Amino acid sequence: MKPETINKLCCPFDKDELELTTIVKDVDERVIEGYFVCKKCTRLYPIVKAIPIMNPDQYRDYKLEQPLLSKWKDSLKDKTFSYFMLGEGPE
């Protein structure tokens, strides 16, 4: 994901700003792995293989996202994000 693209994104639910946490970059400074957290609704959106996963809640497969959240647990420990982002899925 190119840096100039990152600045154009917003939360698809409430159109608020996203806070980026980068886990892996390539030599061209593109974000390969990381995540966004919406500053308003606190939804977490993972970035996998340079692609942000920003599907509506009902179309997300939280079980598939759980391994990423486990892998990023050190980076996530000081973050606040919605409970359903923990892999439980919305009720």
- 34: closest CA among 77, 82, 75? 75
What pLDDT score does 23 carry? 93
Inside any domain, residue 58: yes
User: At which residue do the structure tokens 């409430």 appear?
Assistant: 14
Domain presence at residue 27:
yes
- Taking only the tens place, the pLDDT of each residue in 3-42 is 788 889 999 999 999 999 999 999 999 999 999 999 999 9
pLDDT of 90 > 50? The answer is: no
More confident residue, 2 or 88: 2
Q: Which residues pair with 64 in a beta bridge?
A: none
First to last CA, the chain: 31
Number of domains, the chain: 1
pLDDT for position 73:
85
Report the distance separating Cα 86 and Cα 91, nearest Å: 13
Residue 38 belongs to a domain: yes
Do the domain assignments include residue 91?
Answer: no
pLDDT of amino acid 79: 76
Q: What is the pLDDT of residues 49-81, one digit of tens each?
A: 999 999 888 888 878 888 888 888 888 887 777
Domain hosting 15: range is 3-86
Dihedral through CA 44, CA 55, CA 5, CA 31, nearest 10? 50
| Single-letter amino acid, residue 90 | P
Query: Which of 10, 8, 9, 12 has its CA nearest to residue 56?
Result: 12
Amino acid 72: pLDDT: 86
